[in-house]
Structure 1
Amino acid sequence: MTKTTDKIKLQELAHKYLQGNLTKKEKDEFENWFNQTTDDPIEVSALLASNEEVHRQAIFNNIKKELGPKRPAIFKFWGGIAAAVIFICAIGAGVLYLKRDQKSLQQTAKVSKSDIPPGHSQATLTLANGKKILLSSAVNSGLLKEAGVEVQKDSKGELIYKQVAGGKSTELEYHTLTTAKGEQYQVILPDNSHVWLNSASSIKFPINFAQSKERKVFITGEVYFEVAKDKTKPFRVVSYNQLVTVYGTHFDVNSYKDELGTRTTLLEGSVDVNGTLLKPKQQAINENGVMKIMTVDVENIIAWKNGYFRFRTETLESIMRKVSRWYDVDVEFQSSSLKTIEFGGVMTKYVSVSKVLEMLELTGEASFELKGRTIIIKNKQ
């Protein structure tokens, strides 16, 4: 049987397959899985097939063969901890395949008639003069020119700041980009650094770096950075009780107030976090100035940016914080013991909240009910 880590990798490839974003190497790897006998049921679309209908039917037949009605449900244990494992890949409205008997497949979460759609690309831009502009993915035009900077939106919905020759501003003026719950957004700063904002986050930045000796930005929530290299101007990220200094690298800062400490995760390059240097795949956990360094799976950390939830031995309380931000919902636990249940799995973010609850409930660990914009989590009866 395929190892758990390999299953997670297959799910990620399936997700990228749906998006049409597989590299040639990844496509070969995915097709190699499909051509073998496997215990890993995955539903994918036929986006890359030369004959869509034939390829789709072949995949469905393969999955159907693997999902024999007499086979029991499969639950795994990761790292010696009882974690109900769900392997999920959504297509269209989202479908879950687990090897279960037919009775358990019919089990679903209780959902009100008004379901809640997933979050989307949207944010609010606050200008230096206090004016606010609501940004949606539909806008694709020049926004404004000020202080030697031209602000545009491209066809992918990214906000792009471009340095304009002849800018004569001598004072630093700031813009603030803010996402609410249920929103996320991308921006390219004037120095060509790429920034992704998760839900309920913000970044305040100078609209022109030319007049300063450093590139300093201020954030709340969770933000992922791909910083453009500039040895003459270090890039600094200020968050609660923390300063990160870089010259050019990829990293994620999670500074939500409802999380345990500020977490800075390095993907490549190097960063200085309050005087502590990080290496790739290391995470600094800053709790009230006390720093702890640990090695992490970076794919778990940046899954939100790539369009899916990915968790491994993660508590239900932590998972539901992510769900709450992305779907803009409240969460109520009827028992505190439910918060510590641990799950592992991969699923797309772009399904309605009812699908997420159905997936989680199929693990048999808890029951979920959606009332209005509140998710109520109960002990399994």
Structure 2
Amino acid sequence: MNEIKDKIRLQELAHKYLQGNLTREEKNEVDDWFNQTSDEPVEVPALFANDELAHKEAIFNKIKIELGPKRSGMLTLWRGIAAAVLLICTIGAGILYFKHDQSAVEKTVKIDKNDIPPGSSGATLTLANGKRILLSSVVNTGVLKAAGVEVQKNLKGELIYKQVAVGKSIELAYHTLTTAKGEQYQVILPDNSHVWLNSASSIKFPINFARSKERRVFITGQAYFEVAKDKTKPFKVVSDGQLVTVYGTHFDINGYKDEAGTRTTLLEGSVDVNGTLLKPKQQAINENGVLKVMPADVESIIAWKNGYFRFTGETLESVMRKVSRWYNVDVEFQSPSLKAIEFGGVMTKYVNVSKVLEKLELTGEVSFELKGRTIIIKNRK
């Protein structure tokens, strides 16, 4: 499994590099990766650091070495430099590694009528007076002014709250940001905390923190937080059955009703989940009031925020829940046994659903049929 994880991580770093999203630590990881000794080493001249095209070519050559040979115990779906270039430059597919060593399987995805495009940036903002604003139809300009706050939508599609005054009202006024299936959105709260909201989720928050002793917000579904530090006003997140107290940090909360418990994952900093303190790269699973803390695969958990699917030993049932939310589709399994198939891989979220299903079919165990907005999963005959 470590070998599979290494290759998934390899593709993920290449993906993030070409998107310009590598952190300093990840850049160091890429450098270490290039400098590793292997049977077929790739020499990277110092000039590559200042030459974007040459650096990309080095990535492709390394991927050719790492992904070219067929390894025992798994199926490499994309081989060679041509596949690597197509994969990373177009960000149009993914590398999937399966438990079974099988030959390539013919694509059989059946599309009833129209293919379904991926989700996009969009949400509905509900104001304190109940008025609703469809943000996808709002131009990049000021949205409103209320209670000492200016609300704007920028060119990135982010909703930004700027606190310009304390506000006269003693009572807190709340706004609620809600995403439907097939939508994601970002909001910068009045305290400058940044929140990414996944599909079929919501966040309710005070539009002005100035008069409150704490910064308390309420979420459903899944949200990723980068919380601004303010020792005078603790940041607290309320979700189903739990309270998370934040001390200036990055973390993810997954509280979908169809998942097994609420999962709080800490990337950096410190959070308290119902009285239990988490360390970075730990996850608290709160199921029926019982809290369990375990190590977390952070990259897989926040892949949704970064624009791709990332699975490591994940069941098809779990994968299809994510597909259902992002593409706004229903899913039907013709056999319960299909739900337990496990695989790992990385692929972009920004392709039509048929492309995702084609990759999943290459397990050789399932076939898919798309009827309207319903995906039917069948045993492969």
CA gap 1:58/1:191 in 2 versus in 1, 3 angstroms: closer
Q: Which moved more, 1:196-205 or 1:27-36?
A: 27-36
Q: Which amino acid aligns with 1:339?
A: K
Q: Quick check: which one's helix share is greater?
A: 2
Counterpart CA distance in 2 for 1:38 and 1:345 is 25
Counterpart CA distance in 1 for 2:11 and 2:24 is 17
Does residue 244 in structure 1 map to residue 247 in structure 2? no
Q: Which amino acid aligns with 2:131?
A: K
Residue 320 of structure 2 corresponds to which residue in structure 1? Answer: 320
Residue 172 of structure 1 corresponds to which residue in structure 2? Answer: 172
Q: Note the alpha carbon deviations across 1:198-239, whole angstroms, 9 max, x for none.
A: 000000000001111111111100011111111111111111
Residue 111 of structure 1 corresponds to which residue in structure 2? Answer: 111
CA gap 1:85/1:376 in 2 versus in 1, 3 angstroms: farther
Q: Note the alpha carbon deviations across 1:15-55, whole angstroms, 9 max, x for none.
A: 2133233357756765886799799xxxxxxxx99686x99
Counterpart CA distance in 2 for 1:302 and 1:62 is 26
CA gap 1:291/1:103 in 2 versus in 1, 3 angstroms: closer
Q: Note the alpha carbon deviations across 1:177-218, whole angstroms, 9 max, x for none.
A: 000000000001001111010000000000001111111111
Q: Which amino acid aligns with 1:116?
A: I
CA positional deviation for 1:269: 1.3
Q: Percent identity?
A: 74
Q: Note the alpha carbon deviations across 1:113-149, whole angstroms, 9 max, x for none.
A: 4111111110000011111111129731011110000
Aligned pairs for 1:180-195 (under 5 A) are: 180-195=180-195
Q: Which amino acid aligns with 1:207?
A: I
Q: Which moved more, 1:179-188 or 1:227-236?
A: 227-236
In the alignment, is the contact (CA less than 8 A) between 1:116 and 1:327 conserved in 2? yes
Q: Which amino acid aligns with 1:267?
A: L
Aligned pairs for 1:46-65 (under 5 A) are: none
Counterpart CA distance in 1 for 2:31 and 2:166 is 53
CA gap 1:352/1:310 in 2 versus in 1, 3 angstroms: same
CA gap 1:58/1:230 in 2 versus in 1, 3 angstroms: closer
Residue 352 of structure 1 corresponds to which residue in structure 2? Answer: 352
CA positional deviation for 1:367: 1.4
In the alignment, is the contact (CA less than 8 A) between 2:96 and 2:359 conserved in 1? no
Residue 146 of structure 2 corresponds to which residue in structure 1? Answer: 146
- Residue in structure 2 matching 1:92, options 84, 90, 93: 90
Counterpart CA distance in 2 for 1:61 and 1:232 is 52
Counterpart CA distance in 2 for 1:355 and 1:63 is 22
In the alignment, is the contact (CA less than 8 A) between 1:283 and 1:296 conserved in 2? yes
In the alignment, is the contact (CA less than 8 A) between 1:85 and 1:363 conserved in 2? no
In the alignment, is the contact (CA less than 8 A) between 1:309 and 1:346 conserved in 2? yes
Counterpart CA distance in 2 for 1:192 and 1:58 is 39
CA positional deviation for 1:249: 1.1
CA gap 1:150/1:266 in 2 versus in 1, 3 angstroms: same
Q: Which amino acid aligns with 1:304?
A: W
Counterpart CA distance in 2 for 1:187 and 1:323 is 23
In the alignment, is the contact (CA less than 8 A) between 2:170 and 2:211 conserved in 1? yes
CA positional deviation for 1:252: 0.8
Counterpart CA distance in 2 for 1:28 and 1:275 is 36
Q: Which 5+ residue runs of structure 1 have no aligned equivalent?
A: 40-47, 77-83
CA gap 1:316/1:163 in 2 versus in 1, 3 angstroms: same
User: Cα RMSD (Å) of the superposition?
Assistant: 3.3
Partner SS for 2:248 = coil
CA positional deviation for 1:168: 2.3
Counterpart CA distance in 1 for 2:107 and 2:269 is 47
Aligned residues between the structures: 363
In the alignment, is the contact (CA less than 8 A) between 1:73 and 1:99 conserved in 2? no
Counterpart CA distance in 2 for 1:254 and 1:115 is 29
Residue 81 of structure 2 corresponds to which residue in structure 1? Answer: none
Residue 79 of structure 1 corresponds to which residue in structure 2? Answer: none
Counterpart CA distance in 1 for 2:333 and 2:357 is 14
In the alignment, is the contact (CA less than 8 A) between 2:237 and 2:244 conserved in 1? yes
In the alignment, is the contact (CA less than 8 A) between 2:93 and 2:348 conserved in 1? no
CA positional deviation for 1:292: 1.0
CA positional deviation for 1:103: 7.5
Residue 221 of structure 1 corresponds to which residue in structure 2? Answer: 221
Q: Which 5+ residue runs of structure 2 have no aligned equivalent?
A: 41-48, 79-83
Residue 277 of structure 2 corresponds to which residue in structure 1? Answer: 277
Does residue 264 in structure 1 map to residue 264 in structure 2? yes
Runs of 4+ in 1 over 4 A off after TM superposition: 23-39, 48-52, 54-68, 71-75, 84-91, 96-103
CA gap 1:361/1:138 in 2 versus in 1, 3 angstroms: farther
